[in-house]
A and B are shown apart, each in its own frame.
Chain A
Amino acid sequence: MSLRLIASKYVEGECIVRDLSVGTVALLRPPYKAAARTFLTENDVKEAVSKHGFHVEDREFTTYSALIAEVERSVGQMRQSIGIPLPAEIPLKNLVGRAPANVVTGFLDRIERELLPRRNWDQAEKLLLDILETREEANLKSRAGTLLRQIRSAMNSSQKSWTPTDIRFSHVDLKLANSISLAIRRQRSILVPSS
């Protein structure tokens, strides 16, 4: 496979690629799923460059993953060069606080339906704590609280289910290990909190 990167707009993470093996031209954008490609004409490319801020490029790649890795690298580099570097942390709590209530309800549904059965407790707990901290709606808070208790109880039972007769854990003080684990989760750090 041979791909030619013909135009880019790294601040948006977007690029236009010509697939030399089949001759198609497509616009790729995050999260770069093949199904979400938009196929373009030569006129579209002209318009993208002359009116929509795309820069002309001419580089070849042998695989999509190599191309996307380059685009990902360039996104950070471009933002840095224009003085708006990528943030160290995504402002997720801020986003959850600004989400419409129906979006938060959707998040809670997905925690219940997807994260809990898969035991993705860390992700669920972090999201629930952000919901509890940022939302005012009583129904959302109450449901988030219930789910959080459910998760913590599931976490506890999972830890209790380690049997002391298992030779691998015979030397571990399970009660102490459990309390350390909960403390780490609560403070979101393995470091001792500073005084």
Chain B
Amino acid sequence: MGSLKRDLFRVGQQLNSIRQPFQVRVNSTTGFEVSLANMSRNSPMNNIFSLAFTNARVVRERFDELTATHGKSKEIASWIEENARVSINAGWFVVRLIAEGQQLKNCHEVAQERAIREGIDRETALRAALQQYYGRRIAFDRHFLDGERFRYGGMNCGGLGQSKFGRLCLILQPHLLHDNNSCLLAGDSLQVFFDSAGRFLAEERYQFIVSMSCRGCFASLERWPRLRSMSQDQWPIAILDPAAGPTGYFEVVFSQDVGCDSLESVRISETEYTHAWEMVFSAYSNEVPNSTVSQLDNFAKVLDAVGAGRIQLEVLT
């Protein structure tokens, strides 16, 4: 078993070194078969990661033009390369489930679970959950190969991410995402790929997808007008600005599973952390409502995982 593990690790290392998207098939007689991805741009099931890889060359050329005249852009790009992480914002319950060994679920997987639980079909569950937002989500996800496996995060160079809908910020291990399982979009996919009337623009917007290895060039190019006059301590907010809405961040689309082992840390604001302990103190005297019982139960489970070394909690002041 140990030897198989070592072999798989070696294969993984070799696959990681291929600088082009590839597909792996398991063949019962010959073992693994690796082939370079060759997805047509006009294929009904486009491989988003291949498209991103193709665009990377153009982005690098544009970036080289910028650095020729503005040396600072190169410094910013290197800094982004080094400091960029992928973050996903979540609430206490989701983090608790991950702490207990579950994987992060996207809307398709949640709908699938609900369908099984309630004895309805998956599409009905998905429509019920997304309702008027069903169209955009489905148009995007089903346009791409394996789109229903996509997870969405944001490129994060420091800070709490899009904390409006999730006060905890999951930071993924940097080595998990690479050009074969992730890509970067200049903004929210549900905005970038649609016109103001809500029409899906698909091919017209492919140019806004870039591979992860190009993150430094792409982000410095896109944010150059803002970054050029900023000092380094302000760069993180130029990369992910929670107040700027759908265009204020770089969305990361990826297909990698996210579990406890995938996390570098879980960031939390000092305010939220203090608030959690405040709830603990109050719970000694008052009869607490269901929502507080639930929050404290989740908090306890997350702290158990922190105590066991499965999760690293980072309190940001």
Contact = CB atoms under 8 A, between A and B. Distances in A.
Interface residues of A, number: 53
A52 interface: yes
A110 B289 contact: no
A13 B92 CA distance: 10
Interface in A76-91: 76, 79, 81-82, 86-87, 90-91
Contacts, number: 132
B151 to A, nearest CB: 10
Nearest to B138: A50
Given A11-B93, A56-B133, A72-B291, A50 B303 contact: no
Interface stretch (A95-103, A139-147, A176-184): A95-103
A95 B285 contact: no
A75 B164 contact: no
A79 to B, nearest CB: 6
B3 interface: no
A90 B190 contact: no
Contact of A43 (B89, B137, B245, B279): B245
A72 B277 contact: no
A12 B93 contact: yes
A46 B132 CA distance: 9
A52 B89 contact: yes
Nearest to A36: B275
A73 interface: yes
Interface stretch (A17-25, A119-127, A185-193): A119-127
A103 B166 CA distance: 23
Given A12-B92, A31-B291, A98-B303, A106 B133 contact: no
B310 to A, nearest CB: 14
B297 A41 contact: no
A82 B132 CA distance: 25
B300 interface: yes
B158 interface: no
Interface in B219-265: 245-246
Contacts of B299: 95
B292 A49 contact: no
A51 B188 CA distance: 10
B175 interface: no
A71 B246 CA distance: 28
Nearest to B152: A51
Contact of B307 (A31, A98, A110, A123): A98
A27 B290 contact: no
A90 B137 CA distance: 38
Contacts of B307: 98
B294 interface: yes
A46 B290 contact: no
Contacts of B66: none
Interface in B291-317: 291-297, 299-300, 303-304, 306-307
Nearest to A94: B300
B300 A95 contact: yes
B115 interface: no
A39 B129 CA distance: 22
Given A73-B290, A81-B117, A92 B280 contact: yes
Contacts of A9: 91
B297 A14 contact: no
Nearest to A99: B277
A86 B297 CA distance: 8
A149 interface: no
A90 B297 contact: yes
A13 B164 contact: no
Interface in B32-67: none
B190 A87 contact: no
Contacts of A127: 281, 284
A133 interface: no
Interface in B80-125: 89, 91-94, 107, 110, 113, 117
B201 interface: no
**Which 10 A-B pairs have CB atoms at the shortest separation, nearest pair first?**
A13-B291, A123-B285, A12-B91, A56-B131, A30-B291, A52-B165, A11-B93, A98-B303, A75-B290, A50-B133
17 contacts: A11-B91, A11-B294, A13-B295, A27-B165, A30-B291, A43-B191, A46-B136, A47-B246, A55-B129, A56-B131, A72-B289, A91-B300, A94-B304, A96-B280, A98-B306, A99-B277, A127-B281
Interface of A: 9, 11-14, 27, 30-32, 38, 40-41, 43-44, 46-56, 71-73, 75-76, 79, 81-82, 86-87, 90-92, 94-96, 98-99, 103, 106-107, 110, 115, 120, 122-123, 126-127
